[in-house]
Structure 1
Amino acid sequence: MKTLYLITIFLLVTITLQAQNTGIITGKITMLGNQPVASASVAIIELGKRTLTDEQGYYTFDNIVDGKYTIHIQVLGAPVQNIPVVVSAGKSVTIDYEFPEENILVLQEIRINSDQKKFTNKESIYIARLPVKNLENPQVYNSVSKELIQEQMAVDLGSISKNVPGAGVPTIANQGRVTFRSRGFDTEPNARNGVAGAAFAAIDPANLERVEVIKGPSTTLFGTNIASSYGGLYNRVTKKPFNGVGGEVAYYGGSWNFNRISWDANTPLNAEKTALFRLNGATSFERSFQDLGFTKSLSIAPSFSYQITDKLSLLLDVEFGQAKGTSVVRFNPYIGSNKTQSIADMQFPYNRNFLSNDLTYSTQMMNIFAQLNYKISENWTSQTIISRARSTIDGYITALIGRSDSTIRPRIIVGNTSFIATDLQQNFIGDFNIGNHRNRVVIGLDYYNNSNSFDRVTVNTTTMNFINPSPDYSISRLEVDTLTATGSLRKENSGDDTYAVYISDVFNVTDRLLLMGSLRLDRYEYNGVYDITSGTTSGGLGTSGIQAGPYGQTALSHKSGLVYQLAEDRASIFINYMNAFFNKSGVSADGTQFKPEHANQLEFGLKGNLFDHRLVGTISYYDIRVENILRTDPDDINFSLQDGTQLSKGIEIDITANPFPGFSIVAGYAYNDSEYTKSDESVEGLRPAQSGPENMFNFWMSYKITNGNLEGLGVGFGGNAGDESYQTNTQTAKVIIPSYTMLDASIFYDRTKYRIGFKVDNLTSEKAWSVRLTPQAPARFIGSMSLKF
C-alpha cells in the first residue's frame, strides 16, 4: 500500500512538473461574422504535430515546450495561413484566425454551425466542382438541409422532396426506387457527393447531410450516367465525420405499424484527432395503408476521414442497405376505348392492393465512395474520386394492366436483376489570378462503366374485375410460380463504357461581373446485349430501327453563363445557356446512324442573400428545347426518324426566410409549359404524359421559442399543391390525374440532450396519385423521440 502511495505521488509530481515546463497553444478558426469552421487542418510546422478544429472551430495543442513556432492553418481550396507564436512554460497562448471571406467555400466538407443559417445556407462544393458561391453561380439549384429534414420528421426521400419546387408527387417504383419531376422531366436521386451513386432500390435518408437539386441540363460537368435528365439532377450529400464525440439515437412510431430506429455516432480515432469515424444507420418497418403490403429495411452507412498530412486528406464513405417488401400499386389503365377519363372516376379501389403479402421482393444496395484531396500548390488542388454502386433485386415486382374499363390483369416479373456502376474521376482544381482577374478552373477526366444483368421471367396472371372483385381475390405466390414455365424469359447481360474530359472556368471580369464557360467531350461505347441462353451478342436492327448491338457515339456539350452582382454577396442577376445529351442507338430506314439526342436551355433570373442571410431566394425563367428525339417513321413503322422536338419552359421561385429569431419560411413555386412541337401525330402539340402539373406550390413555416422556460418548443405547418396532370395524353385517349392539396403539421420540443416531435402528413386525407397512378397515403401520424450525446 505504501509503494502504491509513493507511485501515485511520483506520477502527480511528474505531471505537475511537466505542465510547469510546457505550454499550451489553443485557438479558434472562424469566418467573417464569427462563423466557426470545423475540420480545418491546424499544424505546428516545427514539431510536425497536427489536428483538426472541432464543431465550434476550436483546436488545442498540449505539452509544447517553450520556444518559437509557426501555426499552419489550411483548408483545401483556401490560402494557407502561417502564424508565428511564442510558447512560454506553464502558460497558454491563444492564436485565433478569421478567414476574410464571409462564405468560404473549400474543396472538402467544412461544417458551419449557425442556427440562423440552418435553412438558408445554400453554399455547395459540388454544384460547380469549384469554390463558387451561390450568388456567383449562373446555374439554379435548391438545397434541403438536414435541419429541415429533422424538423419535418422526413423519413423518406419522397417527404424530403416536398421542399423542392416542381418535384411533384414522388413516383415509387416496385422495388422502392423513387423518381421526381424537374422542369417536366423524370429525375432520379442517383448522384451522390457529386458523382455517380445510383441506387435501384429504396434510399434511406439516415446519412444525408442535405439534398441538392441542380436545375436544368447538367451533363457538361456530371455526364449522362447518373440519371441526370434535361430537367436536372438530385445530388445526395452524405454526412461526414467531424472532430468531436457525439451523436444521436432516435425512435419513430406511427400509423400502420410504422416503427423506425435511427442512429448517428461520431468519434475521433487517434489522439491528434486527424482520423475521424462516423456511423449512421436506420431500420424501419411499415405496413401499407391498403389492405395488403409492407416494407422493412436496414441501412448502415459508415464514413471515415483522415488528414494524412497538411496537404493530403482521405474520405471513405459507404452506404449499405437491404430491404424486403411488396410492390406498390402500379396501374396502367385500359385506353382502347379512346376517351378522356380521370383516375378519380374509374372506380379503381383506393385502398386495395390486389396482390398478396407472399409476393415479395428483396433488394440490396452497396455504394462505396472514396475521395483523395491533395494540395499541389498554393493555387492547385488534385481531387481523385472512386465511386462504385451495386444494386440487386430478387423476387416479385408487379404492375396491374387494364384489360377493359372494369378489369385488370396483374403482370409480374420474377427473378433477379443487378446493376453495377463504377465511376473513376480525376479533377485538377485551380484558383489563380491572370493580371487582376481571378480564375477558378476545374479540369477533369471521367471514366464510367455500367454493367447490367437480368435473369427473370415475366408472367401474366388471371384477369379480374376491379370494380366488383371477389372478396377473397388475390394472386398467390404458388399461382405465379406455376406460370413461370410459360412466361417471357429475359436472361442477358449488357454494359457500356464512357470516357470523358471536361473543363470549366469561372472568370472574374471585375469583382462583380463573372463569366462561366464549360465544355465536355464524351465517347460512349455500348457493348451490346449478351443473351446467356443462346450465347450470342445481339446486333443489327430491332423494332423501330433500334440497334441493340455494340456501337459508339461521340458527343460534345457546353455550359456558359454570366453573373453580375448588383450588391456584392447580396444580390445578383444571371443568365445561362446550357446543353445536354443522351445517347441513342439505331439507324433510320435509309441507313443513317442516329446521333445523340440534345437539349439546350436558356435561363435568366435573380438570386438574393439579404438581411444578414435572413432572406435567401432565386427567381428564374427557363426555356429548354430538346432535339433529335426518335419518333416512328410514318412511312415504315419498323423504323424511326430522328427529327422529333420537345419544348419545356417555365418559371421557378425558391425562397427561404428567417424574418425574426425562431421563425422560418421555406416556399417555392414552379410553372412548367411542356409540349411536343414535332412528333408522332398521336401526341403532336400536346403536353407530354407524366410531365407533371403545370403549376406546383410548396411551403413550410415553423416557429421555435428561442429563450425562456419553453425554449425549444416549436410548431410547423406546410403543404404542397399541384394542378391536374396526365398519365396518358394523346389525341385519342387521356388519363387525367386530379389536382391536389396536401397539408402537413408538426409540434416539437428540441433541447440540447433530447428532442420530442409529433407530425401529421396529409392532414385532410386528400386523395392523390403519382404518375404511375399509385395512391398516396391518407393522414399519417408519426411520433418521435431522440436522445443526443
Structure 2
Amino acid sequence: MRHYLTIMLCCAMFFNLSAQSNRAKVISGTVHSADGKPLPGVTIRLKQLKISTLTDAFGQYSIAVPSDSLQLEFRLIGYEPLNEQVYLKGESEHKLSVSLTLSADEIQSVEVIGRKESGYKNSISFSGTKTATAIKLTPQTISYVTKETLEDQQAFKTSDAIKNVSGVNQFSYNNNDFVLRGFRASNTLINGLRISTRGWSQNLLPYVERIEVIKGPASALFANTDPGGTINTVTKKPLDEPRRAINFTTGSFNTYRSTLDFTGPMNDNKTLLYRVNLAYQNAESFRMLQDGSAMVLAPSFSFVPNDRTRVNFDLVYQSNKGRLDRGQPIFNATDAADIYSTPISFALGRKNDYQNEMNLFSTISLQHKLTDNISFNASYLKSLYDEDLLEHRTNNRYAKDSLGNAIPTLMEMSTIRRLRKNYVDNLSTYFNMQLTTGAVSHKLLVGYDHINERFPRGNSTYNASGFLGRDGKSVYPTYDKSKPELYQFEGGLPVPNVPYFDLANPDYSISEISRYINVSDEETPSRYYVHGVYLQEQLAWKTLQVLLGFRQEFYTDLLNYEKDDERKVRQRAFIPRIGLVYTPIEAVSFYATYVEGYQPQSAGTIGAPETYGGPFDPLISNMWEAGAKMEFLAKRLFVTTSVYRIEQNNILVNAGAAGNADLLRQIGQQQAKGVELEAYGQIRSNFSITGNFSYNIAKITASDDPEEVGNIMPNAPKSQGNVWMRYNFVDPLLEGFGVALGANYASKRNTNRDILQLPSYWVANAGLYYTVDKFKIQANVNNLLNETYWVGGFDFNRLFPGAPRNFLVSVGYTF
C-alpha cells in the first residue's frame, strides 16, 4: 500500500510539473452594463476557434487562450456584440473587463428572442402595451416571476410561481383557479394569446421564461379578461448561441423529475434557430391517492432571414395522468367544526379513478419591419384540451336518515365518467408605428384580434348519483323524507345509487361503476367568437407620458350550437383605457390609470340554463390605480408601490342549491380597495431578493340579498406577503456556495360558507446551492417549520390544504 501511494504521489508531481510547463495563458475579468451592473450569462468566444465560456452570476469570466494575439467576442441577448483585440506580449495572465451597450433593435424584439436580463428583476414587458415598454413607464402594475426565481425555488407548476406575486391567492388546486386582488380568475394567456382554460391540472413551467400578472382589467388589449388581473406566461425562445442544460431532481413524496433545455443555431449563418424543452415528473403526494405523472415537450424554431424579419413556431405538449383532487372533507362538520381534526392527507375517491389530460397548443408568429419606424406583428395560436376522466366524488352533502337528519360521518357520492375536448383559436395582428411631431414622440398601435372557442358535439358524460327507488330500477336525485314509500332502505337509511363514503372507515378499493344505474348524456356544445379592433397611442413629451387606448369588441355566442334551433346572441362593448406617467428624475416615475373591463358569461354557462341557471348579464368592471415605480442601487433593485380601487358588477357565485351543486346565481356588485408594495432585484451583486406585501378589502357592495352586503369575498385575504432572498458567498473558502430563505404569509380568509373561515398562515422555505465548474447542486426545503395550513377552500366538504414539510434535491449540468 505504501508503494502504491508513493507511485501515485510521483505521478501527481510529474503531471503537475508538466501542466505548469505547458500551462495555457488565461484572460479573465468582468462584463458589466453601461450602468455598472454585472452581466451574468455573457458568451465570450475566441474568434475562428471553437472555444467559449460564460460569465458567472457576478459577471466574471476566465478563459484559457492558445496564443499571444487573438480576438474575443462578447455577446448577450439585448446588447450590442463587442469585439476586443488582445495582445498578451508574453503574459501568462491578462485582465480584461468590458462594458456592453443595450441594443435598441434587440429590445424591440426581446419578447421574440428571449429576455436580455438574468436574475429576479425584469425591466421590459410587452404585456402592458403590446410594445416593448419599460415596466417603469407602463401606467399599470405588472408583477412577474422570472425563470431564475423559478429555478432557485425548483417550481414546477403555476401555483409554485404565483405564490411569489402580491395580491394573488389560490382558490383551489385546479388549473388557474386563483384570486387576484379579491376577484376569482380563470383566464390565462400564452405570450399574450388565449388558450383553453377548461382543464384541471395546472400548467407546467419548464418551458417558461417568466410569468407575468397584469393587475386589473386588461380587456382593452386582450378582450374578455378577469377584473382582478390576467396571468400571462412568456415562453422561452430560441437563442443564437449554443446552450444546453440538463437537470435531475428527487425528493419527498417519491418525486422523480428530469428536465432538458437545449438551444442554439441550426446553420452556420444563424438564420435558423431551435430550442427544445423537455420535462418529466413521476410523484406521489401528501394527499391520499394523488400520485401521478406529468410530461411536457416544447420545441420552438425561429427563422431569421435578415435583420427585418423573424418567423417563430412554438409547440407545447403537456400530458398529466393522475386523479382529480376535489379537496379535503372534514369529519363531523358542524357550525363549530374543528378543521384541524381531520388529517390534511384525507381525500375521497377510489383506486380505479383516473384523470388523463392533454393540453396542446401551437403558435406561429411573424415580426417584420416595413421601415425603420413601422413594424407589423401577426400571431396565431391554436389550443386543444382533451380530457378522459373517471371519478368518485362527493355531492357536497352528508347522508341522511329516514327522518332527514344529517349523518356527518357519511357522505353522499356520485360517479362521473367523462370524455371531452375543447378548442381555442386566437389571431392577433397589429401595426406599430413610431414618429415624432416637434417635441412629442409617438408610439401608435393599430390592431385586430379574433378569438374563437369551440366546445364541440360528442363530448359526453356517464354519471351515477341519487337514491334507488323501491322498484330497484328508478333513481331519485335527492331523498324526500315526506315520501319514504318511494325509496329502498337498509339499516334505516335510504339506499344510495352510489354507496356512501364512510369518513370514519374510508374504503379506497376498486369500485366498478357499471353496477350503478348510470345516465349517459351529451354535454351541451357551445361556441363563442370575438372580433376586436383597438387603437393605442403612447405620447412622450419631456418628463410626461400619456397612454390613450380603446377597444371596440364584437362578441357573439351561439346558443343551441350545431342544433336546428341554433341562434346568435350578439353583444358589443367599447372599452377605454387612459394612463399617465410622470418621471421627474430618471430613477422615479409616478403613474395613474383608469381602465375598464368587459367579460360576457361563457357560452357553456349561458347555453346550459338547466345546469347553471340564468340567463346572466355580462360582467362589467373598472379600475382606478395610482402609484410610483422606482429604481435603486444603480438600477439593480426595482420597487413598485400602488393603490387601487376595482369595481365589478354582475358576479356569478355558487347558489348552494341542495339538488344541483353546479347551480349559479348572480350578485350585484363587488369592490376591492387596496395597496401593494413589490421589490425585485439585487441589494448587492451577490444578494438577490423578490418580495411583496398587499392589503386588500374585497367585499360585496350590492346584492339582492341584503344580508350578504359587506361580506368579504371567498379566499381573498386582507393582508398577504411573500419574500425570497438568495445570498451567494464571495469568501474564497465558500466559493460556489449560496443560500436562500423565504416566506409566504396570508391572513384569514372566508369560504363560500359564512360559518367557515380558513386560518392565517406563515410558511418558511429555504434553499442551498453549490456550483462547481458546469455543475449545480441544489436542495430546497418547503414549509420548513411544518405548518398546517390551507391555501383555499369552498366549504366543509372541499378544503385545499398546503403541503407539509418537504424537500427536493437536484443536480444540473450546463454545457
Q: Shorter-chain-normalised TM-score: which range?
A: 0.7 to 0.9
Shift in CA distance, 96/375, structure 1 to aligned 2, threshold 3 Å: farther
Q: Is 1:686 paired with 2:710?
A: yes
Q: Distance in 1 between matches of 2:81 and 2:759?
A: 63
Residues 398 and 624 of structure 1, relative CA distance in 2, 3 Å threshold: farther
Question: Shift of residue 504 of structure 1?
Answer: 1.2
Q: Which residue of 2 aligns with 1:556?
A: 574
Aligned to 1:518: 549
1:575 deviates by 0.7
1:452 aligns with 2:455: yes
CA, structure 1 residues 202+788, in 2 after alignment: closer, same or farther (shift >3 Å)? Answer: same
CA distance in 2, matches of 1:425, 1:691: 34
Q: Which residue of 2 aligns with 1:774?
A: 800
Give the structure 2 partner of residue 319 of structure 1: 316
- The residue aligned with 2:593 is 576
Instruction: Mark the CA change 1:481 to 1:766 in structure 2 (over 3 Å): closer, same or farther.
Output: farther
Q: Structure 1 residues 776 and 329 mapped into 2: Cα distance closer, same or farther (>3 Å)?
A: farther
| Aligned residue number for residue 566 of structure 1 | 584
- SS at the partner of 1:148? helix
In structure 2, give the amino acid aligned to 1:306. Answer: F
Confirm whether residue 184 of structure 1 aligns to residue 196 of structure 2: no
- Note the C-alpha offset of 1:82: 15
Cα 1:455–1:54, aligned 2, differ >3 Å: closer, same or farther?
farther
Q: 1:251 to 1:97 in 2, by over 3 A?
A: closer
**C-alpha distance in structure 2 between counterparts of 1:279 and 1:649, whole Å:** 43
How many angstroms apart in 2 are the aligned matches of 1:448 and 1:465? Answer: 43
Q: Which runs of 5 or more residues in structure 1 are unaligned? A: 1-27, 41-52, 58-72, 84-94, 539-548, 634-638
Aligned pair 1:430/2:444, yes or no?
no
Q: Which string of whole-angstrom CA distances, capped at 9 and with x for unpartnered residues, describes residues 612-642 of structure 1? A: 1232111111101113457999xxxxx9998
Matching residue of 2:353: 359
The ranges of structure 1 where at least 4 consecutive aligned residues each deviate by more than 6 angstroms after the TM superposition are 28-32, 34-40, 53-57, 100-103, 332-335, 585-588, 630-633, 639-643
Structure 2 counterparts to residues 185-204 of structure 1, below 5 A:
185-188=183-186, 190-199=188-197, 200=199, 201-204=201-204
| Residue aligning to 2:762 | 741
> C-alpha separation between the residues in 2 aligned to 1:576 and 1:387?
30
Please state how far the C-alpha of 1:411 moved relative to its aligned partner: 3.3
Code of the aligned partner of 1:438: S
**CA distances 1:275-328 after superposition (whole Å, capped 9, x unpaired):** 100100101011121342211011100000111222111111110011210121
Change beyond 3 A, Cα 1:33–1:202: same
Contact 2:351 2:508 in 1 (8 A): no
In the alignment, the residues of structure 2 paired with residue 702 and residue 356 of structure 1 have an alpha-carbon distance, to the nearest angstrom, of 43
Distance 1:463 1:297 in 2: 31
For 2:417 and 2:287, locate their aligned partners in 1 and report how far apart those are by CA, in whole Å: 23
* Paired residues, number: 680
Match of 1:45 in 2: none
Residues 631-673 of structure 1, C-alpha deviations (whole Å, 9 max, x = no match): 999xxxxx99988211111111111242222112211112111
Structure-2 change in CA distance of 1:487 and 1:350 (3 Å): farther
Q: Distance in 1 between matches of 2:460 and 2:654?
A: 30
2:222 corresponds to = 222
Give ranges in structure 2 of 5+ residues lacking alignment.
1-30, 44-51, 60-74, 83-97, 399-405, 466-496, 656-662
Does the CA contact (< 8 Å) of 1:149 and 1:160 recur in 2?
yes
2:529 maps to: 497
Q: 2:277 aligns with which of 271, 274, 280?
A: 280
SS in structure 2 of the partner of residue 746 of structure 1: strand
User: TM-score, length-normalised on structure 1?
Assistant: 0.79
Q: 1:474 to 1:246 in 2, by over 3 A?
A: same
1:743-773 deviation per Cα after TM superposition (whole angstroms, max 9, x unaligned): 1111111344111011111122222222241
Determine the C-alpha separation between the residues in 2 that align with 1:412 and 1:670.
41
SS in 2 for 1:126: coil
2:678 maps to which residue?
654
Q: Which amino acid aligns with 2:434?
A: D
**What is the CA–CA distance in structure 2 between the aligned matches of 1:315 and 1:768, rounded to whole Å?**
43
Alignment of 1:126-525 (within 5 A): 126-169=127-170, 171-173=172-174, 177-188=175-186, 190-199=188-197, 200=199, 201-224=201-224, 228-330=225-327, 340-341=335-336, 344=339, 347-397=341-391, 399-400=393-394, 401-403=396-398, 404=406, 405-453=408-456, 454-460=459-465, 462=498, 464=500, 466-470=502-506, 473-474=507-508, 476-478=510-512, 480-483=513-516, 485-487=517-519, 489-508=521-540, 510-525=541-556
Rounded to whole Å, the distance in 1 between the matches of 2:684 and 2:749 is 38
Encode CA deviations 1:522-541: one digit per residue, 9 max, x unaligned. Answer: 1111112348xxx5557xxx
| 1:606 maps to which of 590, 614, 628 | 628
How far did residue 99 of structure 1 move? Answer: 4.5
Task: Find the residue that maps to 1:243 and give its secondary structure.
Answer: coil
The residue number in structure 2 matching 1:543 is none
Contact 1:138 1:562 in 2 (8 A): yes
Question: What is the CA deviation profile of residues 438-469 of structure 1, one whole-angstrom value per residue up to 9, with x for unaligned ones?
Answer: 11121110011101143113333645465422
- Match for 2:747: what amino acid? D
1:641, 1:112 → 2: CA distance?
44
Within the alignment, does 1:783 sit opposite 2:801 as a pair?
A: no
User: 1:29–1:525: structure 2 CA closer, same or farther, 3 Å change rule?
Assistant: farther
1:757 is the counterpart of 2:748: no
Q: Give the 3 Å change call, closer, same or farther, for CA 581–662 of structure 1 in structure 2.
A: same
Alignment correspondent of 1:121: 122
**Do the aligned residues in 2 keep the contact of 1:294 with 1:357 (CA within 8 Å)?**
no
Change (3 A) 1:741 1:393: same
1: CA distance between counterparts of 2:111 and 2:325? 39
Aligned to 2:24: none
Q: CA deviation at 1:697?
A: 1.1
CA contact (8 A) 1:360 1:396 kept: yes
Taking a change above 3 Å as real, the CA distance of residues 385 and 36 of structure 1, as seen in their structure-2 partners, is farther
CA distance in 2, matches of 1:149, 1:764: 22
User: Does the 8 A contact of 1:654 with 1:669 survive in 2?
Assistant: yes
Letter in 1 for 2:236: K
CA deviation after TM superposition for structure 1 residue 379, in Å: 1.1
Which amino acid is 1:279 matched to?
A: V
- Cα offset for 1:220? 0.6
Match of 1:163, SS state, is coil
> Residues 371-424 of structure 1: CA distance to partner in whole angstroms, max 9, x if unpaired?
100101111100010011111110224543232443322333212121110001
The verdict on how the C-alpha distance between 1:672 and 1:114 changes in structure 2, with shifts beyond 3 A counting, is closer
SS at match of 1:609: strand
CA contact (8 A) 2:348 2:392 kept: no
Q: What does the per-residue CA deviation read over 1:475-517, in whole Å, with 9 as the maximum and x for residues that have no partner?
A: 6341x3433x533624332111111001111111x22111111
- Please tell me whether the aligned partners of residues 671 and 701 of structure 2 are also in contact (alpha carbons under 8 angstroms): yes
- 1:427–1:752 distance in 2 versus 1, CA, 3 Å: farther
